[in-house]
Amino acid sequence: MTRSPVSISLSSYGADLVRQHGQGYFIPLVAAAGASCIEWREELLSGENPAELAQGAREHGLDSVYSSPLELWQPGRSEPAPELSATLQRAREFGARQLKVSLGHFNEHHDLRCLASLLFRQPLQLLVENDQTAHGGRIEPFQRFFSAVETLNLPLRMTFDIGNWQWQEQSAVNAARVLGRHVGYVHCKAVRQRVDGKLVAIPPGSPELHQWEQLLRHMTQGITRAVEYPLQGDDLVRVTATQVEQLARLGQSRLENTNV
């Protein structure tokens, strides 16, 4: 079976359902839908055995990303978060090729050489995501962070969450333009504002898919893009497969043009 460069964040199925069944339940579902990667969610774990999940993913031909809510940089510390080393180890136990964390409170006083020593000879890649906070969801701190990362040639990349920029009224288009070359993984979600003013993630329509097509032009061709919006319905394989097909098509016109 040919798999698409699409990942499924298990949070898409809803916290209650994931905790009820356990994350291993979704391995065959994600594989049957044609995705190539599964994203474990640390905040939704409920006693699962990491080795069993890692083996299950391998047996179904899936890569995996381990997502942690950990903030890389914390107030009052020049070194990376003290939990980072243990979180890297946990991600390895889950068989992940990448660990996703949030940026946190980055400033010019933070010790990136200490981060470099933590990442030295790591078998997995660190991904740093823009979240929905004022300190970790704006473009400018990421520009400063990745400028420092480039200077030291650190082995890490960015998770570019398309929808999260809206929580801080940032332009995803501008973010892609200035940060696209650093991106190693993309979180996809459309966003709408409810009547109570709260922003929520929703599946994309044609306008969002068109915009995402343009955003991906600033990133590595064929980059893995993840579903991180609600996947609901009686037939979750069919629902998931539909979204996998939509996201897989993003960037295809660019690929076809290069092959002409």
With 0.75 as the threshold, say if the pTM is over it: yes
**73 and 99 in contact (C-beta within 8 Å)?**
no
φ/ψ bin of 145: left (φ > 0), alpha (ψ from -120 to 50), beta (otherwise): alpha
The percent of residues above 70 in pLDDT, for the chain, comes to: 96
- State the chain's mean pLDDT as an integer: 96
| Residue pLDDT, tens place only, 211-249 | 999 999 999 999 999 999 999 999 999 999 999 999 999
Please say if the pLDDT value at position 175 is more than 70: yes
Averaged pLDDT for residues 175-191: 98
Per-residue pLDDT at 260: 46
Each residue of 94-124: pLDDT tens digit?
999 999 999 999 998 899 999 999 999 899 9
Task: Write the CATH number for 93.
Answer: 3.20.20.150
- What is the residue range of 120's domain? 4-258
d(CA 70, CA 153): 23
Total domains, the chain: 1
pLDDT value of residue 255: 53
Residues 6+ apart with CB under 8 A from 238: none
